[in-house]
């Protein structure tokens, strides 16, 4: 199969780019592959909203820039921060022209929420299901465009570079598309593309205890890494302070930071409101500080979770802004009007990833990255809440703009199909499940919110054992999604641990007791 633009992923990053480029070039083909249902993504679950400066009487670009830089703890790329925040309002308004709805206050202005680290109310939202509304809007637009084809349940296995071509490796590597597994038939397609966009999202599932859905396995980062693209800042895994506690310690529902934005308190088991002990901004300190404070409270007490107290809030206003959170709690017999919500930090977002410039270009020619899999320099050591959807919108536009200036080159060479000679269908599925559980436990216990060189070194030793076993299985097996995902998460874990061991000072979301 040949296409002009191959987009890997159907979250906000991939879909926004696809809509824009398809609208501009009706004669060019855009192919989106996505490994699950078409809407399954981190985007779909985004709750709080999009941070954007719309009310310039109270707010200003400068304040949003300052808040982003403070959250990033000295490691943001300032020109990138300036660019993203100033471009934000234009990109946000495009979403509205495509049909997205955001909450409006009684005066007819956008209802602006507040989250940790923000000095002003600036988070536009659609109740507490902002991501679902964005995903709905973008998918509807994609389906209207005749030059976009979206293949769901198609898993990108590897990028195609010179390593796969008969002509051998040239000075600068280029990307020529990807090998893609059609999950329902097991057939591997060679998709040859003039330009490839990785929009494959985050890595949450490498930790098991995560706010992310099952698709967040870091595939794009692992593929780019194997293709030899530059990857950076992988040690900055962001833990969201308030994931709903469950005894199983698996993927978990998020209680939005916007709930603290309307005044909810964090309490320990004894009922003490502890955040003022740690930071003058209390519950609205940036996420790294709140998560590390909760971790400290749990270590001191030996408890498994803390609580979010909403009992003093206006319950009617709560139900209106947070209907999804209210209902989810209710089904678990938590009545937010009377009961405190049990919460615990969980892996939520990756600040690092595939290095890109302001045009979303990676270090490999014709390969772009956008959204959570990319490392733009916006977030530094810790992402400011609700800056992620914004970043994806702005960079999808920048990549589109860059590519409109590029000529549409012919692709007159052959790419060999993926060679899986000598492999067979893996019989021991238990090996995949067992190693996945071990990897997730390892990442949670040894590479969590508070790290130490000793735990990180032990983690590497154990990871190497898992790596060898899985590589062996991979070499002899016909590929399937769960095996590839596990292999990708192992790559990602190596990158996180490796970069953690190299970081000699604590910044933002990275905290190592040996650096104190
Ligand atoms: P995603 O939306 O995750 O999309 C990735 C896509 O790639 C998916 O379609 C996936 O199936 C596909 N994919 C992955 N690997 C492959 C492969 N190998 N082959 C084919 N397809 C593949 N950010 C905010 O700014 N505001 C918020 O309020 C907010 N709330 C959040 C709440 C939750 C619960 C979570 C989990 C995240 C939240 N975030 C929020 C973060 C934000 O949602 C994500 O960072 C953002 O949506 C990422 O968008 P994306 O397009 O880069 O990736
Ligand atoms: C939330 O609603 O708390 C998530 C916001 C984010 O991750 O940006």
Residue with the smallest CA separation from ligand 2 atom 1 is: 256
Alpha-carbon torsion angle 193, 196, 199, 203, nearest 10: 100
Angle between helices 61-71 and 78-97 (to 10 degrees): 120
d(C-alpha 21, C-alpha 495), whole Å: 33
Write down the residue that tokens 């269908």 correspond to. 425
- Nearest by Cα to 38 from 151, 199, 144: 151
Residues 6+ apart with CB under 8 A from 380: 69, 71, 72, 73, 74, 75, 76, 77, 236, 351, 507, 508
| Active-site residue list | 287
- Look at the domain 430-478+480-515 and name its fold: Methane Monooxygenase Hydroxylase; Chain G, domain 1 (1.20.58)
453: enclosing H helix or E strand: helix 453-476
Residues 6+ apart with CB under 8 A from 203: 212, 216, 217, 218, 221, 237, 347, 350, 489, 492, 496
User: What is residue 169's predicted lDDT score, i.e. its pLDDT?
Assistant: 62
For residues 289 and 383, the answer to whether their CB atoms sit within 8 Å is no
Q: Mind listing the pLDDT tens digit of every residue in the chain (516 residues)?
A: 999 999 999 999 999 999 999 999 999 999 999 999 999 999 999 999 999 999 778 999 999 999 999 999 999 999 999 999 999 999 999 999 999 999 999 999 999 999 999 999 999 999 999 999 999 999 999 999 999 999 999 999 999 998 888 666 667 899 999 999 999 999 999 999 999 999 999 999 999 899 999 999 999 999 999 999 999 999 999 999 999 999 887 778 999 999 999 999 999 999 999 999 999 999 999 999 999 999 999 999 999 999 999 999 999 999 999 999 999 999 999 999 999 999 999 999 999 999 999 999 999 999 999 999 999 999 999 999 999 999 999 999 999 999 999 887 788 778 999 988 888 888 778 999 999 999 999 999 999 999 999 999 999 999 999 999 999 999 999 999 999 999 999 999 999 999 999 999 999 999 999 999
C-beta 128 within 6 A of ligand 2:
no
- The CATH label, of 3.40.50.720, 1.10.10.10, 3.40.50.880, 3.90.700.10, for the domain at 245-345 is 3.90.700.10
Residue with the smallest CA separation from ligand 1 atom 46 is: 43
C-beta 286 within 6 A of ligand 2:
no
Nearest ligand 2 atom, CA 47 = 2
From 201, 214, 218, 256, mutation site for ligand 1 pocket: most ligand atoms within 8 A of C-beta: 201
C-beta 477 within 6 A of ligand 2:
no
Cα 40 to ligand 1 centroid, rounded to whole Å: 8
d(C-alpha 376, C-alpha 378), whole Å: 6
d(C-alpha 190, C-alpha 473), whole Å: 23
pTM, two decimal places? 0.98
Bridge partners (DSSP) of residue 110 are 104
From 115, 213, 216, 345, mutation site for ligand 2 pocket: most ligand atoms within 8 A of C-beta: 115
User: What is residue 327's predicted lDDT score, i.e. its pLDDT?
Assistant: 98
Three-class secondary structure of residue 37 per DSSP: coil
Residue 503: C-alpha distances to residues 195, 230, 453 (Å):
34, 17, 10
C-beta 347 within 6 A of ligand 2:
no
Cα 48 to ligand 2 centroid, rounded to whole Å: 5
C-beta 204 within 6 A of ligand 2:
no
Cα 385 to ligand 2 centroid, rounded to whole Å: 5
DSSP at 352: -
C-beta 47 within 6 A of ligand 2:
yes
Residue with the smallest CA separation from ligand 2 atom 8 is: 386
User: What is residue 168's predicted lDDT score, i.e. its pLDDT?
Assistant: 63
DSSP at 115: -
- Look at the domain 2-235+351-404 and name its fold: FAD/NAD(P)-binding domain (3.50.50)
**CA-derived radius of gyration, the chain:** 22
Three-class secondary structure of residue 7 per DSSP: strand
**What token pair was written down for 94?**
């495009």
Q: Where are the domains of the chain?
A: 2-235+351-404, 245-345, 430-478+480-515
């Amino acid at each position: 199969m040949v296409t002009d633009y191959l987009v890997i992923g159907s979250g906000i990053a991939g879909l926004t780019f696809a809509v824009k480029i398809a609208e501009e070039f009706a004669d060019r083909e855009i192919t989106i592959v996505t490994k699950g249902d078409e809407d399954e993504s981190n985007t779909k679950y985004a709750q709080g909203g999009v941070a954007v400066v719309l009310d310039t009487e109270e707010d200003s670009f400068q304040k949003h820039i300052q808040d982003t830089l403070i959250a990033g703890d000295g490691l943001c790329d300032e020109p990138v921060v300036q660019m993203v925040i100033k471009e934000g309002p234009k990109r946000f308004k495009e979403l509205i022209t495509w049909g997205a709805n955001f909450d409006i206050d009684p005066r007819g202005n956008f209802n602006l929420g507040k989250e940790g680290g923000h000095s002003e109310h600036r988070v536009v939202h659609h109740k507490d299901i902002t991501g679902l509304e964005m995903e709905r809007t973008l998918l509807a637009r994609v389906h209207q465009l005749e030059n976009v084809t979206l293949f769901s349940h198609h898993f990108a296995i590897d990028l195609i570079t010179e390593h796969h071509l008969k002509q051998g490796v040239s000075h600068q590597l280029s990307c020529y598309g990807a090998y893609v597994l059609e999950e329902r038939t097991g057939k591997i397609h060679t998709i040859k593309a003039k330009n490839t966009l990785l929009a494959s999202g985050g890595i949450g599932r490498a930790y098991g205890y995560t706010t992310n859905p099952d698709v967040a396995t870091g595939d794009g980062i692992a593929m780019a890494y194997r293709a030899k693209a530059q990857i950076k800042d992988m040690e900055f895994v962001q833990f969201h302070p308030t994931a709903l506690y469950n005894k199983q310690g698996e993927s978990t529902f998020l209680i939005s930071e916007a709930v603290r934005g309307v005044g909810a308190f964090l309490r320990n088991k004894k009922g003490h409101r502890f955040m003022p002990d740690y930071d003058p901004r209390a519950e609205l300190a940036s996420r790294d500080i709140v998560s590390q404070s909760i971790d400290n409270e749990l270590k001191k007490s030996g408890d498994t979770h803390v609580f979010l107290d909403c009992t003093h809030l206006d319950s009617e206003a709560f139900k209106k802004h947070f209907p999804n959170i209210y209902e989810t709690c209710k089904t678990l017999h938590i009545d937010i009007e009377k009961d405190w919500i049990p919460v615990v930090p969980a892996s939520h977002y990756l600040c690092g990833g595939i290095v890109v410039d302001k045009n979303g270009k990676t270090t490999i020619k014709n390969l772009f990255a956008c959204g959570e899999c990319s490392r733009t320099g916006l977030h530094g050591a810790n992402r400011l809440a609700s800056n992620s959807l914004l970043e994806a919108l702005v960079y999808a536009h920048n990549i589109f703009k860059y590519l409109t200036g590029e000529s549409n080159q012919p692709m007159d060479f052959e790419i060999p199909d993926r060679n899986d000679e000598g492999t067979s269908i893996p019989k021991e599925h238990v090996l995949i499940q067992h190693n996945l559980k071990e990897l997730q436990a390892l990442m949670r216990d040894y590479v969590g919110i508070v790290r130490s060189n000793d735990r990180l070194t032990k983690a590497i030793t154990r990871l190497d054992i898992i790596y060898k076993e899985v590589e062996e299985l991979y070499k002899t097996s016909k590929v399937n999604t769960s095996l590839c995902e596990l292999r990708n998460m192992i790559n990602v874990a190596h990158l996180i641990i490796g970069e953690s061991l190299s970081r000699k000072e604590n910044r933002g979301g990275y905290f190592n007791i040996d650096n104190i």
